[in-house]
Amino acid sequence: MEIRNLITFLKVTELKSFSKAAEALDYSQSAVTVQIQQLERELGVQLFDRIGKNITMTQYGKDFIAYAQDVTTAVARAKTFAATNSELTGTVRVGTLDSLMTASFADIVPVFHQRFPHVLANIRVDTIAGLKDRLIKNELDLIYTLDLQTLDTQFVQTFEAEEDIVVVTNINNPLTRRKNVRLADLVHFPFILINRSNAYRDQFDRELARQGLNVEPFLELESDVLALRLISENPEYLSVLPRYTIQKSIHEKNLAIIPVADCTMHEWRQVLYHKNKVLTPQIRGMMDTILEIAKKPF
Residue 251 has pLDDT above 60, yes or no: yes
pLDDT of 81: 61
pLDDT, mean of residues 190-218: 92
pLDDT of 17: 87
In angstroms, rounded to a whole number, what is the distance separating the alpha carbons of residues 158 and 271?
Answer: 6
Rounded to the nearest 5 degrees, what angle is found at the Cα of 92, between the Cα atoms of 107 and 132?
90
Cα-to-chain-centroid distance, residue 248: 20
In angstroms, rounded to a whole number, what is the distance separating the alpha carbons of residues 298 and 295?
Answer: 9
Range with the lowest mean pLDDT among 73-82, 116-125, 139-148, 171-180? 73-82
For the chain, what percent of residues have pLDDT higher than 70? 97
pLDDT, mean of residues 64-70: 91
Range with the lowest mean pLDDT among 20-34, 64-78, 241-255, 267-281? 64-78
Which pTM was predicted? Answer: 0.69
- Domains of the chain, earliest start first: 3-79 (1.10.10.10), 85-161+268-294 (3.40.190.10), 163-266 (3.40.190.290)
Confidence of residue 250 (pLDDT cuts 50, 70, 90): confident
pLDDT, mean of residues 221-238: 93
For the chain, what percent of residues have pLDDT higher than 90? 65
In angstroms, rounded to a whole number, what is the distance separating the alpha carbons of residues 284 and 269?
Answer: 18
The CB density around residue 44, as the number of other CB atoms within 10 Å, is: 7
What are 263-281's pLDDT values in tens digits?
999 999 999 999 989 898 8
- Angle formed by the axes of helices 59-79 and 3-15, nearest 10°: 130
Residue 183 has pLDDT above 80, yes or no: yes
Residue 86 has pLDDT above 60, yes or no: no
pLDDT of 241: 95
Check: CB of residue 163 under 8 Å from CB of residue 267: yes
Beta strands 142-147 and 265-274, pairing class: antiparallel
